[in-house]
Structure 1
Amino acid sequence: MKISACVIAKNEAENLPRWLRSMRVFADEMIVVDTGSQDATAEIARAGGARVFHFDWINDFAAAKNFALDQAQGDWVVFTDADEYFTEESAPRVRPLIEEYSGRSKFDGFIVHLVNIDMDTGALLGTTAEVQRIFRRAPHIRFVGSIHEHVENLSGDAGREMAMAPGLTLYHTGYSPRIIKEKSRRDLALLLARRARGEKKKLDEYHLMDCYYTLEDYPEAAHYARLARDSSDRPVGSEDRPHAVLLQSLILMGAADEEITAAYETARDALPKKADFPLIYGTWAWEQGYFACARKAYQAGLHLHEEYYREGDYSGILAPSAYARLGEAAALAGDSEEAAACYERALRLSPRYAPALAALVRLLHRAGADDPTVIGTLRTLYDEEHDADFLASVLAGVFPRASLYYDRRASRHFSVRRRFLLAGDVNSAAASLVEDMERAAALAAAYGGDFAPESQGALALLLPDSCKEVSAAPEAARMLRRIGRLAGGTA
C-alpha cells in the first residue's frame, strides 16, 4: 500500500519545512503543487524530497488540488494545507490506521480532528474543526469549490463512508492572529465577487459568517450565522460553529438579553454535550451582574468540560476563569473550603492563570496561613524551579517572605530595594532609594551644560540645593565631590 502526501502552496517557505517533516513520517511520496510562489517554496520542497509541480493560479482552490491528485500515485492520499501538520504523537499512527481500514471496499477515508494554534506562541486558540484529510485515491473522490474547497463523493453511492480518525490530531496555524484578518479579507472579496456574478453555492453562509466574525463585523456575522445554523448544508463535524459565532456576535454587539438567551438555549438544545455554550453564556451573565444565572451556567459548562473536552475546544480557555469565579462566589458566601477547591481546579487547568493564584493566596492569608504553609500548598500545584518567577511576582503583595523564597530560585530577580522591602528592612530600602536619587541628581548636574538653555532652566528647578551651592553640610560636600568626579570622567 502506497500513501501520497499532497499540498498546494504559494509562498509557504515558512510553513513547508514543518509540513515536510510531518508527512515524511508516513508518506511514500510527497507532492507539492506550487501555484506561483515568489519565495523559496519550490526549492525547499525539492530539498525535502518532494516532487514539485507548477499550476497556473485561476482563483480556484479545488482545481489546484484536483491537479495535485492527478499527479499522485498512491493508493491513499493525505491532503492537508501547508499550515497544517500532525502532532508528534499522531504522525506515526497514520499508516497503521489506513492499513487497518483499507480492506473495506466501501470505506473512503477519515475525518481528522483539527486544532487551531497560534503560530508564534503555540497556544491553543479555542477553535477546532473536523476535516476530511485522508481518503482513497479514486476517480469518485474530488475537491469541489473554488474557495473553501472540500472533498465530495461523486459516485452517487450513498453507501460509501468516511469515519472519524481515532487518535489523530492536526495542528493548524492558519488562524493565527497576525495573519487571519488578511486571509479573511481575501476570502470575503472572493466570495462576494462570485456571488455578485450570481454564483451562489452551499456553505456560502457558513464561510461568510466566519469572514465577518474575524473582521469584527458582528451584525453581519450574526446574520450569516443564523442562516448557516438553520441550513441543512454544514461542514462535517462543525455543526457547533454557527451557534458559537451567533452567541458571541450577539454578546459583542450588545444585543438584548432576551436575544442572547434565546441563542444560548437553541445552542444547548442542539448540542447538549458542548461545554462552550454554557461557559460563554456564564461569562456574559457574570459580566452583566447576573450572578445566580452565571453560577448555574458555569456549573453546567464545567461538568460538560470535564466529561467531553477535546483538545482545542474553547471550553479549555474559559474553564479556568469559570472555576475562579465560582471560587469567588463561594468565598463571598463564606465557604472557604469550596472556594479554595475551585481556585485549585482553575490552576490545575491553567497554572499561570494569575487571577486564580492571587485569589487563592488572599484566601490563605485571610485564613491565617503563614509563609511555610503557603509554600507547602503551592508545592502541590507547581514546579518550584520552573515556576519560581511567576510565583514570586504573585506572592509579593501578600506573602513577602514566601515571595523571597521563590525569588532566590527564579531566573530573574527582584531589585535589591524590592528585596529589602519584602524582607521588612525599610531603612535599607530607603537608603538604597536615596543613593539612587543622589546618583541621578549628580549625573544631571555634571552634564547639565550639554542640554539646551531652556532644558537647563527646567533641570535647575528639579535639582536639590546640594547640587547647586557650596555648603558646609557633609551631604552637600559629598554631592559636589561626586559631581566633580563625574564631570572629570572618573567614578
Structure 2
Amino acid sequence: MNLSLCMIVKNEAATLPKCLSSVVNVVDEMVVLDTGSSDRTPHIAREFGAKVYDFVWCNDFSIARNTALKYVTGDWVLVLDADETLTPGIVPHLKNAAASEEYLLVNLVRQEVGAEQSPYSLVSRLFRHHPDIRFERPYHALVDDSVSAILQKEPQWQIGYLQGVAILHAGYQKSAIAQNNKYAKAQATMEGFLATHPHDPYVCSKLGALYVETGKIDQGMELLKRGISACEEEYEILYELHYHLGIAYSRLKNYQQAITHYETAIKLPIYPILKLGAYNNLGSLLKASGDLNGAKKAYETALKIDPKFATGHYNLGMICKTLNLFTEAIACYQKAIKLKPNYAEAYQNLGVVQLKVGNVQASITAFKNAILLHEQGNPEEAMRLRQGLREMGLV
C-alpha cells in the first residue's frame, strides 16, 4: 500500500514547512499543485521532496484538486491544506485503515486549533485512488458525492472513520481569516455555486453559516432553513444546519428557538465529538435562562465527550461558582488552565473563588497570572483588575 499526499497551495511559505514535516515520514509521495505563488512556497515543497506542478487559478477549488489528483500515483490519497498538520498518534490507525480491503474512503476528525465554537469536524480526506473519485463544488470541495455514486455501483466498498483527532487546522483563527480575506473569497465562490444549485444542503449550510457570522442573519437563516428542507439522511450536514440556526437565533436573542435547534442537533446519530459545540452553546443558553442544573449537565456531557475541552472546564467552573460549589469550581478552573496555560479568564475566576474560600495567597497568585496574560491581549482589563486588587488591599 502506497500513500500519496495531495495538496493545492498558494503563498503558503509560512505554514507549509510545519504541514509537510508532519507527513514527510508517513507518505510515500507528495504531490503539490501550486496555483500561482509569489513567495518561496514551491521551493519549500521541493526541499521536502514534493513533486510540484503549476496551475493557473480559475476560482474553483474542485478543478484545482482534481488536477492535483491526476499526478498522484499511490494506492491511497491523503489530502491536506498548508495550514493543517497530521497528528502523530493517528498514523498507525491511518495506515491500518488504508491496508484494509473493505474501505473506499475513511473520514478523519479535524480539530480547529483555538476554536471555541464547533471545534471538531469530520472530513473526507483519506480515500482509495479510485479512477471515479473526484472533487465537486467550487469551495469546500468534497469527494463525497462521487464516493456515493461509486458505492451504488460497487457495493463491496465501505466508508469508515478513525477515532481520535487526525488533523489540526489553524486556518479559522480570526487573524488568519482577516489576513487571507477568507470570508469574502468564500462568499463570492459559494454564491456562484448556489445560483445553479439553490437547494444543495451543504452549500446552504456553509454559506448560511458565513452569512450569520458576518451579520447577514436573515439571509443566513433563510439558507439554513432551506437546507434543512432539502436535507434527508445526511446527518452531519443536518447537524451543522441546526447548529448554525442555534447561533442565528441566539444572535437575535430568541433563546428558546436556539435551544430547540441545539437539542435537535444533539439528538442526531453522528460521531459524538462533533456535537461538542452544540452541547457547549446549549449550556450557555440554559445558564442565561436560569436553568443552572441543565447548563451544568450540558457542560458535563461535553466534557465526557472530550475531557481535553478547556472551554468546557471553564464554563463548568462558572456554573459551579454560581451554585456556590467552590471546591468543584476551583478544580474546573485548574483543569482549564492545565489544558490552556494562557487562559486569562480562568486564572481570574480562579482568583475570585480562591478568595471566597479564604485561600488569599493562592488568590493573589491567580490574579497576578491573570493580569500578566490580560496585559498581552486586553490591557484595559489588566488595569481594572490591578486597581481592584489595590482597593481590596491585596497588593
Q: Aligned letter for 1:283?
A: S
Q: Aligned letter for 2:36?
A: G
CA distance in structure 1 between the aligned counterparts of 2:177 and 2:286, rounded to whole angstroms: 29
The equivalent residue for 2:377 is: none
Residue 284 of structure 1 and its aligned partner are, at CA, apart by 2.8
The equivalent residue for 2:378 is: none
The alignment partner of 1:109 has SS state of strand
The alignment partner of 1:53 has SS state of strand
Residue 76 of structure 1 and its aligned partner are, at CA, apart by 0.9
CA distance in structure 2 between the aligned counterparts of 1:83 and 1:227, rounded to whole angstroms: 32
Verify: 1:267 aligned to 2:265, yes or no. yes
Q: Aligned letter for 2:336?
A: L
**Is the 8 Å Cα contact of residues 115 and 170 (structure 1) preserved in structure 2?**
yes
Sort the Cα spacing of 1:354 and 1:55 in 2 relative to 1 into closer, same or farther, 3 A.
Answer: same
1:75-98: CA deviation from partner (whole Å, max 9, x where unpaired): 111112222111233346533442
The equivalent residue for 1:301 is: 298
| Sequence identity (%) | 22
The equivalent residue for 1:345 is: 332
Residue 276 of structure 1 and its aligned partner are, at CA, apart by 3.9
CA distance in structure 1 between the aligned counterparts of 2:187 and 2:315, rounded to whole angstroms: 34
CA distance in structure 2 between the aligned counterparts of 1:135 and 1:394, rounded to whole angstroms: 46
CA distance in structure 1 between the aligned counterparts of 2:105 and 2:96, rounded to whole angstroms: 13
Q: In the TM superposition, what are the counterparts of 1:199-238 in structure 2 within 5 Å?
A: 199-200=197-198, 202=200, 203-232=202-231, 237=236
CA distance in structure 2 between the aligned counterparts of 1:179 and 1:324, rounded to whole angstroms: 30
Match of 1:136 among 128, 138, 146: 128
CA distance in structure 1 between the aligned counterparts of 2:279 and 2:137, rounded to whole angstroms: 34
**Is the 8 Å Cα contact of residues 278 and 297 (structure 1) preserved in structure 2?**
no
Sort the Cα spacing of 1:44 and 1:180 in 2 relative to 1 into closer, same or farther, 3 A.
Answer: same
CA distance in structure 1 between the aligned counterparts of 2:133 and 2:81, rounded to whole angstroms: 18
**Is the 8 Å Cα contact of residues 97 and 106 (structure 2) preserved in structure 1?**
no
Q: Aligned letter for 2:70?
A: D
Q: In the TM superposition, what are the counterparts of 1:113-262 in structure 2 within 5 Å?
A: 113-118=109-114, 126-151=118-143, 152-153=146-147, 154-155=149-150, 156-157=152-153, 159=155, 160-180=157-177, 182-196=181-195, 198-200=196-198, 202=200, 203-232=202-231, 237=236, 239-255=238-254, 257-262=255-260
Structure with the bigger RCO (C-alpha within 8 Å, sep 6+) is 2
1:38-60: CA deviation from partner (whole Å, max 9, x where unpaired): 22211111122100111222222
CA distance in structure 1 between the aligned counterparts of 2:41 and 2:234, rounded to whole angstroms: 30
CA distance in structure 1 between the aligned counterparts of 2:184 and 2:258, rounded to whole angstroms: 27
The alignment partner of 1:240 has SS state of helix
The alignment partner of 2:281 has SS state of helix
Sort the Cα spacing of 1:233 and 1:139 in 2 relative to 1 into closer, same or farther, 3 A.
Answer: farther
The equivalent residue for 1:441 is: none
**Is the 8 Å Cα contact of residues 235 and 269 (structure 2) preserved in structure 1?**
no
The equivalent residue for 1:477 is: none
**Is the 8 Å Cα contact of residues 348 and 366 (structure 2) preserved in structure 1?**
no
**Is the 8 Å Cα contact of residues 190 and 207 (structure 2) preserved in structure 1?**
yes
The equivalent residue for 1:3 is: 3
| Matched residue count | 360
CA distance in structure 2 between the aligned counterparts of 1:235 and 1:392, rounded to whole angstroms: 49
**Is the 8 Å Cα contact of residues 117 and 125 (structure 1) preserved in structure 2?**
no
Residue 21 of structure 1 and its aligned partner are, at CA, apart by 0.7
Residue 204 of structure 1 and its aligned partner are, at CA, apart by 1.9
The alignment partner of 1:144 has SS state of coil
Residue 230 of structure 1 and its aligned partner are, at CA, apart by 4.1
Q: Aligned letter for 2:332?
A: R
1:178-207: CA deviation from partner (whole Å, max 9, x where unpaired): 2325212111112223444x3546222012
Q: In the TM superposition, what are the counterparts of 1:4-19 in structure 2 within 5 Å?
A: 4-19=4-19
CA distance in structure 2 between the aligned counterparts of 1:24 and 1:76, rounded to whole angstroms: 15
Match of 1:323 among 299, 317, 320: 317
CA distance in structure 2 between the aligned counterparts of 1:226 and 1:201, rounded to whole angstroms: 10
1:303-343: CA deviation from partner (whole Å, max 9, x where unpaired): 312322276xxx652441233223222x2xxxxxx332233
Sort the Cα spacing of 1:341 and 1:46 in 2 relative to 1 into closer, same or farther, 3 A.
Answer: same
Residue 362 of structure 1 and its aligned partner are, at CA, apart by 2.2
1:333-359: CA deviation from partner (whole Å, max 9, x where unpaired): xxxxx3322332232233541243123
Consecutive unaligned residues of structure 1, counting only runs of 5 or more, are 332-337, 379-387, 396-413, 424-491
Sort the Cα spacing of 1:38 and 1:165 in 2 relative to 1 into closer, same or farther, 3 A.
Answer: same
CA distance in structure 1 between the aligned counterparts of 2:24 and 2:58, rounded to whole angstroms: 29
The equivalent residue for 2:103 is: 107
Sort the Cα spacing of 1:339 and 1:59 in 2 relative to 1 into closer, same or farther, 3 A.
Answer: same
CA distance in structure 2 between the aligned counterparts of 1:310 and 1:69, rounded to whole angstroms: 38
CA distance in structure 1 between the aligned counterparts of 2:165 and 2:153, rounded to whole angstroms: 27
The equivalent residue for 1:85 is: 85
Q: TM-score by structure 2 length?
A: 0.80
Consecutive unaligned residues of structure 2, counting only runs of 5 or more, are 372-385
CA distance in structure 2 between the aligned counterparts of 1:301 and 1:63, rounded to whole angstroms: 42
Sort the Cα spacing of 1:194 and 1:136 in 2 relative to 1 into closer, same or farther, 3 A.
Answer: closer
The alignment partner of 2:153 has SS state of coil
The alignment partner of 1:17 has SS state of helix
Residue 390 of structure 1 and its aligned partner are, at CA, apart by 4.6
CA distance in structure 2 between the aligned counterparts of 1:275 and 1:38, rounded to whole angstroms: 39
1:441-482: CA deviation from partner (whole Å, max 9, x where unpaired): xxxxxxxxxxxxxxxxxxxxxxxxxxxxxxxxxxxxxxxxxx
The alignment partner of 1:304 has SS state of helix
CA distance in structure 1 between the aligned counterparts of 2:4 and 2:239, rounded to whole angstroms: 32
Q: Aligned letter for 1:301?
A: A
Residue 301 of structure 1 and its aligned partner are, at CA, apart by 0.8
Residue 253 of structure 1 and its aligned partner are, at CA, apart by 2.2
1:270-299: CA deviation from partner (whole Å, max 9, x where unpaired): 469645435423323433xx32x2x13212
**Is the 8 Å Cα contact of residues 313 and 335 (structure 2) preserved in structure 1?**
no
Sort the Cα spacing of 1:219 and 1:285 in 2 relative to 1 into closer, same or farther, 3 A.
Answer: farther
Q: Aligned letter for 2:163?
A: P
Indicate the structure (1 or 2) with the bigger Cα radius of gyration. 1
Q: Aligned letter for 1:5?
A: L
CA distance in structure 1 between the aligned counterparts of 2:113 and 2:276, rounded to whole angstroms: 20
